[in-house]
Structure formats: C-alpha cells, structure tokens
Amino acid sequence: MRYDRWKGVNKMPALSAKSVLRWAMDIEENGKAFYETVAERVQDREAKVIFQDLAYQEERHYRTFRNMLDKVPEADVATDSAEYQRYLETALDKALFEGPEKGLALAKEARNEEEALEAAIAFEKDTLLFFYDLLEMVPRSQQEAISAVIEQEKSHVRQLAKVLADRPWVS
C-alpha cells in the first residue's frame, strides 16, 4: 500500500522520525540477539566471527539511532487514521524482526551456517522493506534520518549476501 493513500486521509505526515527511530532501536536489539544466538550455535570459526561482528554492528547501529533520536525535532503528525493503524499493525505482526522471540526462533531453527545466513538476510530484508515503507510517512524535513536507517540495513544485506556467496566455511 502506498503512502499516497494516506495523503487522502490526512494532509500531514503520519509518523515522526522519532517514532521510526524508536522502532529502529528495537529492531537493532532484536537483530543483536539473533546474531548472538547464531554465533553461539555455528560450528565454523569464521562463521562464528562473522555473526559476532554482525551482533556488534547491531549494537553500534542502536547507539547511532539513539544519538539521532536526541537530535531529531518533534513533528506534527496525523494519528487518527484507523486504516493507517491497521496497516502498521499488520506490517509489524508479519515481520521477522518484530519481537525478539521471532528472531531467536529463526536463529535456533537454522541447522547450519548457510541456513543461518539465509535467515539473517530475510531478517535484514524484512527490516529494510519496512523502513522503505515508513520513509514517505514522515515529514520531508525528517526523511534524512530514516534514509540513514535504510543505509545501515542495506549495508547488512550486502555484507550477508557476500558472505553467503563466499561461504567461508566450505573447504
């Protein structure tokens, strides 16, 4: 569903960058828990180091978003659209990144390094799509902050895709 639809409901943006950054911080915490769990479970030393590094990156992203949160001003946003609220609730409910239990379940279900990487890519892509969707729902003056979140998530997808292609644990 496109943001254009919400413009017909309310003329003002639907979300503040502060709200999106708070979600980003929660998602980073969930990602860190996911990567730490995978790192504990994988057998290959190189793969373990990769997942430990990804957990560290999630922690760094959390701190970055926390610093951004302090700098982003409040914004007037529309919050009375029932359709908009249903859309967000559905998006969050179906997302891999929502809630630590979903990520941890994926981490524990992975039978090997390849499955763990594929789950990680799905986790990051899901997160990336969610933030792309939210980008147009914040005021234009605050979209730069959300774009920064998107860039962080894109870097993880690229990194994971490269690791999966290189498969360091295969001799």
Domains and CATH numbers, the chain: 4-166 (1.20.1260.10)
Q: Per residue in 75-132, pLDDT tens?
A: 666 654 566 667 766 766 666 556 657 667 777 787 888 888 888 888 888 888 888 8
Top mean pLDDT of 62-71, 92-101, 136-145 is at: 62-71
Q: Are the C-beta atoms of 110 and 41 separated by less than 8 Å?
A: yes
Q: Are the C-beta atoms of 92 and 98 separated by less than 8 Å?
A: yes
Burial of 33 (0-12, 13-18, 19+ CB in 10 A): middle
Is the pTM for the entire model greater than 0.85?
A: no
- pLDDT given for residue 119 in this prediction: 84
Across 59-73, 80-94, 130-144, 153-167, least confident range? 80-94
45 pLDDT tier (thresholds 50, 70, 90): confident
